[in-house]
């Protein structure tokens, strides 16, 4: 049985005739493969999905559905970065000098209990939303920002689902 991604409704905005802009592309690397990135989220959700599948199958399936949506975000960002002239490698740029740093497994919050895992997932979604808002402030391209706004809507949907799981765990 296939699991549908947990994404908001509606089509993702198309980006037409985008001109290369490596500055914008480098900004997007933080959301692609930084600490609070789609790549980190995928690793975290899949880890939690695997660890929780036997004792909490419904929660595990929800986390997998979120991970599938995050994979779609990763592909959208990677395609956009490529169009902007930046290859979608698993590193990100940081600081004013835009120094590159490699992604690594320490960016995943593994957790020891289900409550801790879901808490980490909630915190990660909140950080991602904040980071996407900061990205919108830095990128002055309405096509790119519309795509990011749609991704934010997905992240908010994930946050709602995770908060519902946390509430159900406290009952």
Give the pLDDT of residue 56.
Answer: 97
Question: Is 15 within a domain?
Answer: no
Give the three-class secondary structure for 21.
coil
C-alpha–C-alpha distance, residues 64 and 47, integer Å: 9
Question: Is 128 within a domain?
Answer: yes
Give the pLDDT of residue 92.
Answer: 83
Averaged pLDDT in 10-residue chunks for the chain of 171 residues: 83 94 95 95 98 97 97 98 96 72 92 96 98 97 98 98 96 79
Question: Is 145 within a domain?
Answer: yes
Give the pLDDT of residue 1.
Answer: 56
Question: Is 14 within a domain?
Answer: no
Question: Is 1 within a domain?
Answer: no
Give Cα 37 to chain centroid, integer Å: 5
Question: Is 45 within a domain?
Answer: yes
Q: Helix crossing, 57-84 with 22-33: angle to 10°? A: 170
Give the pLDDT of residue 24.
Answer: 96
For residue 92, the cross-strand partners are 101
For the chain, how many structural domains are there in total? Answer: 1
Give the pLDDT of residue 95.
Answer: 64
C-alpha–C-alpha distance, residues 20 and 41, integer Å: 27
Question: Is 19 within a domain?
Answer: no
Q: β-strand 91-94 against 99-102: which pairing, if any?
A: antiparallel
Instruction: Find the CATH number of the domain harbouring 70.
Output: 1.20.1260.10
Q: Which of 10, 12, 1 is nearest to 74 (CA)?
A: 12
Question: Is 124 within a domain?
Answer: yes
Range of the domain at 47: 29-95+105-169
């Amino acid at each position: 049985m296939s699991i549908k991604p947990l994404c908001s409704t509606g089509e993702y905005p198309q980006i037409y005739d985008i001109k290369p802009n490596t500055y914008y592309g480098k900004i997007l690397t933080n959301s692609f493969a930084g600490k609070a990135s789609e790549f980190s989220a995928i690793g975290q959700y899949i880890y939690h999905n695997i660890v929780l599948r036997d004792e909490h199958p419904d929660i595990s399936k929800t986390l997998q559905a979120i991970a599938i949506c995050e994979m779609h975000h990763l592909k959208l960002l990677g395609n956009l970065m490529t169009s902007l002239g930046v290859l979608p490698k698993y590193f990100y740029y940081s600081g004013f000098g835009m120094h590159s740093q490699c992604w690594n497994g320490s960016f995943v919050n593994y957790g020891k209990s289900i409550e801790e895992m879901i808490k980490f997932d909630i915190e990660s979604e909140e950080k991602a939303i904040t980071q996407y808002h900061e990205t919108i402030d830095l990128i002055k391209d309405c096509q790119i920002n519309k795509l990011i706004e749609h991704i934010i809507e997905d992240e908010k949907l994930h946050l709602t689902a995770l908060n519902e799981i946390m509430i159900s765990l406290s009952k």
